[in-house]
Each structure stands twice: as structure tokens, then as C-alpha cells.
Amino acid sequence: MTRKHIPIRLKNLEILIREAGSAASLARAADTNSSYLSQVRNQLPTKKGTPRGIGDDLAAKLETAMDKPQGWMDEDHENEESIALERDGPSRGNHHPLIAWDQVGKGHEISEDKPPPYNTQLLICPVKCSDETFVLRVRGASMEPKFREGELIFVDPQAAADHGNYVVVRFEASNEVSFKQLIVEEGKQYLKTLNPDWPNRIVEVTADTVLCGVIIFKGEAL
């Protein structure tokens, strides 16, 4: 794979995720690890410090899984995607489950074929988001003063994570789920705790870190 293919492959990965319905569904169809696909999608670094990319083997798996011709991952489909969005329109559903922190990444997507578990609280997101969006209730004081305990945060696993975004992450070694501010500097990624009184406020993103989604909205029930 030549380096010029990296940006276009990442763009086409987003198209395939939308077609599959979710990143998890695409990973299952391609018989690949969903955590690795998340790391590739968000350009998390390898042990050498270089961003994870879509190699030829993974590109071929994705093409086969989604019935695309060979080489599809290296072609520009932006115009095709725009036409499809105009034709199909926005997603019909905008109700998203309020889940516990230990449920993050364990499959909570809602569809006609997969209704939410009984007694699941569903909340409407006031901003544009994907069907995979879920809701968490803030716990603790690590992200004060911007986020306070009890507030609701809407998390979109399909949103691209950029510098300054607030993200929900899982640390695979401990299986701990938390949320931090993403900082990108000189090609490296860091997670920042906002509370100035908190110890060890900045940690580097490693291969052990799985990005579970970007916080797109916060609110508080009265």
C-alpha cells in the first residue's frame, strides 16, 4: 500500500460503516476485530508511534464483505455517497439508550430487528447523530467544571475524533471506561482530565486505548 491511499481508504471506511449500519456490524461481516477497526478508524498509534492504517489485507476483507469490486477502497466515492444521502434522507430513528458505563462497547444498537431491552430508557438527541449513539450519566468530578455529576452525555461511535473533542474510551488492560478531552500534538494523541485538582491529568493514547465514541451533546434532566 502506498501512503497516498491512506486518506481515501479512511473515507471509504466511513462509507462502508454507514452501509453496514454500524462499525461493529462491518467488523463482523469482514471477520475482523471491532476494537482494531476502531483504532484504525481513529488513527490510534502503533507501538512504533505511527497511526494505524488500512493495509491491503484489511482493505480486501472489507471489499469482499460488502460486495465491492477489487480496488474499491482506493477509489473516490464522495459523489456517490452524496447522491445516496440525498435519496435516502436522514435516519428515521432518533431515540438512544441510556446505558451503564460497564455496558459501553457491548452492543446496544437499536433497530427494528433489535429492540432495546425491557425498561431501557430512550432519550432523543437534539443534534444530528448516528443510530449507534448512546447516552451515559456523568459520574465523578474528574471532568469538572465543564461536566458535572448527573449530567447526560450523548456519545456517537461514528463521529470522527478530532483535537479538542471529548471522547469516551476503554482501556483494554483494566477494562475501565472513562471520558476525557482528546489532545493531538505533533502527531501524538493524549487524553486530558479537565479538573485542575486531579492528579496525572494528561496521559498518552496507546494501543491499549479503544475509542468508543465522541461526545456530541450534554444536558441535564430537571
| In the block, residue with C-alpha cell 446505558 | 99
Per DSSP, the three-state class of 206 is coil
Query: 95-219 falls under which CATH superfamily?
Result: Umud Fragment, subunit A (2.10.109.10)
Give the E-state strand segments of 50-187 in sequence order.
95-97, 122-124, 134-137, 152-156, 166-171, 176-185
Exposure of 176 in the CB half-sphere (CA atoms within 13 A): 7
The SS3 of residue 84 is helix
CATH of span 5-88: 1.10.260
Domain 5-88 and domain 95-219, same fold? Reply is no
Look at residues 172, 180, 175 and name the one whose alpha carbon lies nearest to residue 213.
Answer: 180
How confident is the model at residue 18, as a pLDDT?
Answer: 78
All three cell numbers of 138, joined, read 456523568
Q: How far apart are CA 45 and CA 206, in angstroms?
A: 6
**Which segments within 57-172 are labelled E, that is strand?**
95-97, 122-124, 134-137, 152-156, 166-171
Cell of 216: 456530541
**What ranges do the domains of the chain cover?**
5-88, 95-219
**Structure confidence at residue 222 (pLDDT):** 57
Q: What is the pTM of this model?
A: 0.61
Terminal-residue alpha carbon distance, the chain: 53
What is the grid cell recorded at 195? 479538573
> What secondary structure letter does DSSP report for 45?
B
Q: Taking a C-beta distance cutoff of 8 angstroms, is the pair 99, 135 a contact?
A: yes
pLDDT of residue 87: 43
Q: What is the distance, to the nearest Å, from the Cα of residue 168 to the centroid of all Cα atoms in its chain?
A: 9
Q: pLDDT digit of tens for each residue in the chain (222 aa)?
A: 343 456 888 888 888 887 877 777 788 888 887 777 877 877 777 777 777 788 899 999 999 988 899 999 988 876 655 444 444 444 445 788 999 999 897 655 544 445 555 567 888 888 888 888 999 999 999 999 999 999 999 999 988 899 999 999 999 888 899 999 999 998 889 999 999 999 999 999 988 899 999 999 998 765
The pLDDT of residue 120 is 74
